[in-house]
Every structure is written in structure tokens, then in C-alpha cells.
Amino acid sequence: MRKTEELNETKLISEIEKISLVTQKFNKSLVIKSIGDDCAIFRDKNGMLVSTDNITENVHFTLKFYSFYEIGSKSLLVNLSDIAAMGGVPRLFTLSLFIPKNITEGNIKEALRGIVDIAKKYRISLIGGNISRASEFSISITIIGDYKDDNVIKRGNSKIGDAIFISGEIGNSWMSYYLQKRKKHIDKNCINLKNFEKKTIENFIGKFKLPIPRIKLAKELAAKKLANSLTDISDGLRKDIFNILNFSHGAEIWIDELPINENLKHIAGLLKIANYMDNVLSFGEDYELLWTAGDKKEEEFLNLSNTLGIKIKKIGRVVKGVNGIKFMKNGIKYSIKDFTFKHL
Amino acid sequence: MRKTEELNETKLISEIEKISLVTQKFNKSLVIKSIGDDCAIFRDKNGMLVSTDNITENVHFTLKFYSFYEIGSKSLLVNLSDIAAMGGVPRLFTLSLFIPKNITEGNIKEALRGIVDIAKKYRISLIGGNISRASEFSISITIIGDYKDDNVIKRGNSKIGDAIFISGEIGNSWMSYYLQKRKKHIDKNCINLKNFEKKTIENFIGKFKLPIPRIKLAKELAAKKLANSLTDISDGLRKDIFNILNFSHGAEIWIDELPINENLKHIAGLLKIANYMDNVLSFGEDYELLWTAGDKKEEEFLNLSNTLGIKIKKIGRVVKGVNGIKFMKNGIKYSIKDFTFKHL
């Protein structure tokens, strides 16, 4: 008899890492970097990057809030972000579709349209795939990218004293999802909302449903060797920050410096969401870049920010010791409350 | 509202092929061969092969008949067969696990053990992966292989007059599954079975639960340029034969020449399975190689067969015209009856 019990994901990942370690030696000259970063690296004329990720119904999306076109788009976008998180260029991908019986051909075509539009936009080629029956709709993608010379930025090379930088804004994906889920409730119960406020909410949902992989920015960071350590934020700043630190490093994050969208704050005020900062730090799915670098690189980031039209913000510092992450607000330690909101 | 309707898989595949065609041009120098063969080929110092495949609970296996160790093993073996079907050498793979709530950590570890044992056996390296919640257990693998010089055998280069060859035996996977499914029924109702006959059935189930990817044989076929066209049998001879023919070619298959295991025939007799040949031709999952070559290559295949200890059999011929496949038995056309047995 199989028992129902909670799965320890961390243990499971370490099991998989062990297999990776054991099998890596079979292709020493081929595998440059295996599991343990955003992508694996193997040998080509240029170096090649491989990463695999999936989005699954009722885990990463619900068909109530996402169109099939959006699901298709998102499935590829989250994979592109993994290539960006190394400073690489996405090139090729394979596609596995898991299709339940209640999904029509038209639905799948819509999802494929979402995929092909993103593929065209980022000039990447589909080179393989398969289809399988399943109970839930799921899209699994393996992406292959490349990079020139040694222009690739791994996760764990941060140095003590490094400043921590972040691109764009965080929390938008959370707020978009929160608003979608509460839309009916809001329409019914928040009768004091003015029309332009309702419009602000509407716009916010639409604008931040899909992530933007920061490929150009990452490529610049890599080409100019501006970052010591780089990752993307998929699981929330609170969790992903650990990816750019060595095990012997800690970090201080300055809450007041976090790039939060003005409309997010405004909507949080309108709807009286007191703990919004905890969700901003924990929800993830923003796919912004997170990196560390010496303070003297700050001016170059300012230039990059202006050239590419992407916000770049210094939000903290890598510190000595194994104290993990300290969030600071007005110079005082900030404790994240249990957040009310998680992935589906 | 989403409607429940049957999915047209062929149409869907052609949709995906279209995307492949549209996006291939973005990386002309990188993609040598995209969708439409057993693997995609892209550029490396050696050529690289990529393929993706998954096995899913209640579609490709049921937990009633397969241990988690066997499921793990099989998930990788079927992917290795895709690399073999090009004459390549498997090197790297990525792994996606879809895990339902009723699967324990121990179960997954067992599956991983199955995977790592196969990885060690074939000296391939795990270089990426991810885990997701799902309603059904599923393993999705992307495999990357390579090949030297131009030693790769595509599917559709058969020539009119070519003989058709097959490795090993077909139908064993079907019979193994059939016996598993009927085991209780057989034990209860076939009271005339002698003990050694029951033992034969038992042994058959165990022996043919997992496929053997024909990597060495395929590598020899490729290195010595012995085959014009090559694939593996995953969906049944009746279906996969089309993969090695050009659209303008037909084929004659000689039923009496098919390599059928003696015990399979014996058990079919014992259990009075009259239509076993139809199932042998239709069930698939044997992962044997299927290729075409000129008759004069036959002696080399005999040598290869002896060296590698793998049966090789001539089973038919590529013929003119677009008449599809003709199965012949004693010089008379053989019509495959509706087979009673399909994939789960």
C-alpha cells in the first residue's frame, strides 16, 4: 500500500543532485556545469546551456484565470528566464505536452500560438517534442542556449561586501494573481471603489500576468563581467536570495529599497492588504534578475538601466557569517509574517 | 465552456511541426535536423542529438504492474532508444518529475534508483531537472546524444527494392503486459496449466517488462553505413514501418519471417489467444530497430548478429507505389483484424 505523506522537496532535489554528481564523470569533457545552477553547461564551439521547466494546471496556473494563449506563452517565458539567469542566449527548445481529455484541439492550438509568438519574438527554434495523455494540462520545456567565450555568470560566486542588485520590480506577479482571485469579491464588496480605481485594478491584472525574461540585461552583465553572481527570481526573493550566496555568506536586504510598483502599493492601500510586503517577498514568479557586484559597478548599472530602459536597484549587501538573510526596515530587523498567499 | 472531444493527434503533431519549420530559420547554422525524425540534430564539434519523451501513469504504465524502480528504468530506456534509432551515442539528459500526492519519498527514491542504474550502465549524465506536483505520476526526459562525422541514420532514406530488417523479437512487450493484466484470471481459470507452464508464463512476464535499447547495433550500422533508413519500434511495426518509408514508397512485410519468441507462440497456444499476431504487429513498446538496406548487406548483418549476439531478420521489402503496407502470409495478403489490445 502506498501512503499519503508530505514530500520533502529539498531532500528530493539533493537526491537528484547526487545522481548528477555520480554520472557527471562519464562525460567530463562534455559537461562543464551540471545541476546546481539555473542551467547546465555543456561543450560546443560556443558553450551550450540546457535547462528544463514545466508549468502545470492547478500548480502553476488555473484555467479560470489564464487563457491557453497565455499558458503557452508563460511556459516558454519561464524557461527563457533560466537562460537569462546565466547571461546566455536562448537558441533551441523541446516541448512536451500533457493533455487531459477535457482540453480541445482548439485549446491546444491556442497554447501553441502563445508558444510560437514567444519563439518568434526571441528567435528560438523548436527542435523536438512529444504529446501524452494526462489528467491535468501541463507543458514541459527543455531549453538550450549558448554563450561566447567565458561570458557566463554562475550563481554562487558572490563576495563578502558585494552589493545586491535587482532588476525591474517585485511583487507584481503576486498582486496580479491576488487580484484575479479576488476579482468577484472585490467587485461585489468594495462598493466604495471609484471607477478609475477599478480601472487601475483591471490594468494591473493584465499588465503583470506574464513575466518578461531579462535576456538583454543579463547578456550585458555577462559580456561586461559586471556581476559576481546571478540568478532569476522564480520562487520569491526570500528564497532565491540563497541561490546567489555561498554557504558561508549571509545577506542584509533593505526593505525600503525594494522596487515596488506604485500602483501595487496604491491597490494594497485601497484593499487594506496589511501584509502585502510579506507576499511580495515570498510569492515569486516575477522572473527579475538578482545579482551581486562591487559597489564601484553601480555607475555602469545606471548606464545600463538608461540604455535598456530597465530599472536597476541596490537592495542589500552580502555580509560575513552564516546567519542567513536579515531583512532590515529603518535600521531595524524586519520579521516576515506568515504570508497568507502561496503558489496555487 | 470547454468541450469534451477527441483529440486529433496527427493534426496536433503537424501543428508542432509547423512551429518547428517557422522557428528553424532563426538558427540555421545550429539546427541540422529538427522535428520529423527520432531525434533533432544540432551543431557541436561532433553533431549533437536531442530527443524528448515521457512515460505517464495510466497511459504508459500502471502502478499495479510496475515497481517504481522499473518505471524509473523504463523512462530512461525509451529515451535511449531514440538516440539508438539515429545511430548516435547517448550522453546527457534532463529529468522532469510530475508527482501526485499519494506517491511517497521512498517511491520516488526507488524510481531514481532505476534511473541512476540505467544512467550508469549506459554512461550518461544527468545535467538538469525539475519537480512538479501533478495528479498522476509522470517522468519526462530530454536526452542529448552525439555522433561522429556524418555517421547518423535518418528515417526516410529507404530506396525501392531495399530489404527491410529488424533486430531481436517483436511482440514480447505486448505478451508480457497481456500476461500481467490476466495473471489473476489465468491462475484462477486455467486450472489445466502444468506447473512448468505456469513457470514459463511467470518468466516471460519478468523477462520482457523492460526494453533493451539497441545502441551498439545502431552505432555499428551507422559507422559502417549499412542502413539507408533506420527507426525504433515504439508504436508497433504496423505504424512505425511508415517512418522508414518515403511517402512515395510502399512495403511488403512477410508475416512468416517475423521474429517471434518461441515461448510467446507457446503461451498463445496454451491460453488460446487466436489473434496474437495482430497484437504483435500493433502493440509496440519493443524498441527493436527497424531498418532498410540493399540485399547485398545481408552478410554483414549476419556477422554483426554473431558479434553482438543480437538476432537480425529480413522481414520484407520496400516496393514501388503508394499502396502503404501489405502484410503477406504464404504469398497471400494478410488482413490485420481489429486488435483487442492497445496501450493502456
Across all residues in chain A, what is the average pLDDT? 87
Q: Where residue A1 falls among pLDDT bands split at 50, 70, 90?
A: very low
H helix or E strand, kind and range, residue B132: strand B125-133
pLDDT tens for residues A284-305? 899 999 999 999 999 999 999 9
- Residue-level pLDDT at A342: 40
Stretch 112-141 of chain A: residues touching chain B, C-beta under 8 Å: 112, 115-116, 119-120, 123-136, 138, 140
CATH 2.60.40.1180 fits A28-147, yes or no: no
**Using CA atoms, how far apart are residues B296 and B301, in angstroms rounded to an integer?**
10
What is the average per-residue pLDDT within A6-21?
67
The residue among B97, B95, B105, B107 whose CA lies nearest residue B63 is: B107
Q: In this complex, do A35 and B133 lie within 8 Å of one another by their Cβ atoms? A: no
* Chain B residues touching residue A23 (CB < 8 angstroms): 116, 119-120, 123-126
pLDDT tens for residues A162-185? 999 999 999 999 999 999 999 888
Q: In this complex, do A42 and B92 lie within 8 Å of one another by their Cβ atoms? A: yes
- Residue-level pLDDT at A39: 67
Query: With pLDDT > 90 as the criterion, what percentage of chain B qualifies?
Result: 51
Q: Where residue A324 falls among pLDDT bands split at 50, 70, 90?
A: confident
Residue keyed to cell 546571478: A230
Mutate to test the interface with A, among B23, B53, B112, B155 (most CBs of A within 10 A): B23
Q: Residue B160: pLDDT above 80?
A: yes
Is the Cβ of B157 closer than 8 Å to some Cβ of chain A? Answer: no
- Residue-level pLDDT at B340: 41
Q: Residue B161: pLDDT above 80?
A: yes
**Using CA atoms, how far apart are residues A265 and A263, in angstroms rounded to an integer?**
5
Question: Shortest Cα distance from B12 to chain A (angstroms)?
Answer: 7
For the domain covering B163-333, report its CATH number.
3.90.650.10
**A38-42, A105-109, A204-208, A287-291: segment of lowest average pLDDT:** A38-42
pLDDT tens for residues B23-75? 877 777 767 767 766 667 776 777 789 999 899 988 888 888 999 999 999 99
Matching CATH topology for A28-147 and A163-333?
Answer: no
Q: Where residue B12 falls among pLDDT bands split at 50, 70, 90?
A: low
Domain boundaries, chain B: 29-147, 163-333
Minimum-distance CB partner of A8 among B96, B105, B142: B105
Q: Which residue has the higher pLDDT, A83 or A189?
A: A83
Q: Residue A255: pLDDT above 90?
A: yes
Across all residues in chain B, what is the average pLDDT? 87
* Chain A residues touching residue B120 (CB < 8 angstroms): 22-23
- Residue-level pLDDT at A3: 33
Contacts 24+ apart (CB under 8 A), A267-272: A267/A175, A267/A179, A267/A200, A267/A201, A267/A204, A268/A175, A270/A190, A270/A193, A270/A197, A270/A201, A271/A182, A271/A186, A271/A190
Residues 6 or more apart whose CB falls under 8 angstroms from that of A312 comprise A165, A166, A167, A301, A302, A304, A305
What is the average per-residue pLDDT within A301-327?
92
For the domain covering B29-147, report its CATH number.
3.30.1330.10
